[in-house]
């Protein structure tokens, strides 16, 4: 028991707080904490919903990966335009943002010479504005049909913004007007804090020292 307590104390002494994402799994049942934008005439209205929802066309049905809700959109409509959810975050440590996503599209049957649709994450100044970084996550390629990508994990690194408040924007760009149905789910947007090498060494050293200290045995008495 002493070993566990001592090791836990050593570990907590050098713990790193992860950057906080508000309502990252949409468990409020809505977009609380997020700023949203949809097309004026989307194929499927952007929404937070539970399991069993689909835009049709043989695509997958929604299935949240964390809790009971996920964010959904149609990734199609009266483009050109962008569907987005965004949030200002204070980057408190060297952090990687992870998220679960799933997609479907048909860019064959209704798409003659159309162009790809793009899902990007864009980092902007707090409140939105100048673009500071961009990460391409997925391209729905023209001339292809995918009924279900299955659950995928996306990520992007915020380490270069430590000490700043920035806007993280999940952007689905629809470049043309109704050129093929699609469906998108995103869920479980979360942060993991990176531990620098010196801190890792300190954790190991302190932990081992604590274990060794509590495991010392008394020298047997001589008869």
Residue 172 lies in a domain: yes
pTM (predicted TM-score): 0.82
34-57 confidence digits (pLDDT tens): 999 999 999 999 999 999 999 999
Say yes or no: 118 and 199 in one domain. Answer: no
Residue 220 belongs to a domain: no
- Distance between CA atoms of 148 and 106, rounded to whole angstroms? 11
In a domain, 107, yes or no: yes
In a domain, 216, yes or no: no
In a domain, 219, yes or no: no
Same domain, 11 and 53: no
| 204 located within any domain | yes
Q: Is 9 in the same domain as 76?
A: no
- pLDDT for 15 equals 47
The percent of residues above 70 in pLDDT, for the chain, comes to: 79
Instruction: Using the structure block, give the residue that is written with the tokens 């836990």.
Output: 8
Q: Say which residue the tokens 């860019």 belong to.
A: 107
Same domain? 9 vs 95: no
12 and 116 fall within a common domain: no
3-class DSSP state of 218:
coil
pLDDT band per the 50, 70, 90 thresholds, residue 85: very high
Q: Which is higher by pLDDT, 6 or 129?
A: 129
Identify whether residues 202 and 149 lie together within a single domain.
no
Q: pLDDT tens, 90-141? A: 999 999 999 999 999 999 999 888 999 999 999 999 999 999 999 999 999 9
Domain assignment present for residue 217? The answer is no
Read off the pLDDT band of 194 (50, 70, 90): low
How many domains is the chain partitioned into structurally?
A: 2
Whether 139 and 78 share a structural domain: yes
**pLDDT of amino acid 57:** 98
Domain that holds residue 110: 18-192
31 pLDDT higher than 90: yes
Taking only the tens place, the pLDDT of each residue in 11-27 is 443 445 779 999 999 99
207 with 137, same domain: the answer is: no
Q: What angle do CA 24, 30, 35 make, to 5 degrees?
A: 70
């Amino acid at each position: 028991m002493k070993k566990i307590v001592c090791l836990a104390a050593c570990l907590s002494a050098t713990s790193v707080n992860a950057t906080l994402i508000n309502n990252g799994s949409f468990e409020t049942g809505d977009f609380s904490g997020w700023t949203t934008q949809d097309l004026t005439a989307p194929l499927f209205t952007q929404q937070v919903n539970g399991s069993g929802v689909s835009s049709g066309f043989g695509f997958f049905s929604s299935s949240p990966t964390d809790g009971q809700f996920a964010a959904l959109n149609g990734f199609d409509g009266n483009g050109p335009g962008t569907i987005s959810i965004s949030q200002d975050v204070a980057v408190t440590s060297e952090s990687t943002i992870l998220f679960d996503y799933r997609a479907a599209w048909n860019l064959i049957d209704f798409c003659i010479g159309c162009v790809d649709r793009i899902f990007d994450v864009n980092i902007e100044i707090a409140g939105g504005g100048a673009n500071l970084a961009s990460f391409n996550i997925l391209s729905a390629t023209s001339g292809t049909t995918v009924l279900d990508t299955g659950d995928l994990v996306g990520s992007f690194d915020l380490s270069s913004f430590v000490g700043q408040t920035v806007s993280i924007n999940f952007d689905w760009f629809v470049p043309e007007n109704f050129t093929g149905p699609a469906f998108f789910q995103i869920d479980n947007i979360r942060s993991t804090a990176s531990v620098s090498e010196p801190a890792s060494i300190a954790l190991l050293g302190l932990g081992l020292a604590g274990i060794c200290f509590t495991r010392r045995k008394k020298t047997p008495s001589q008869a």
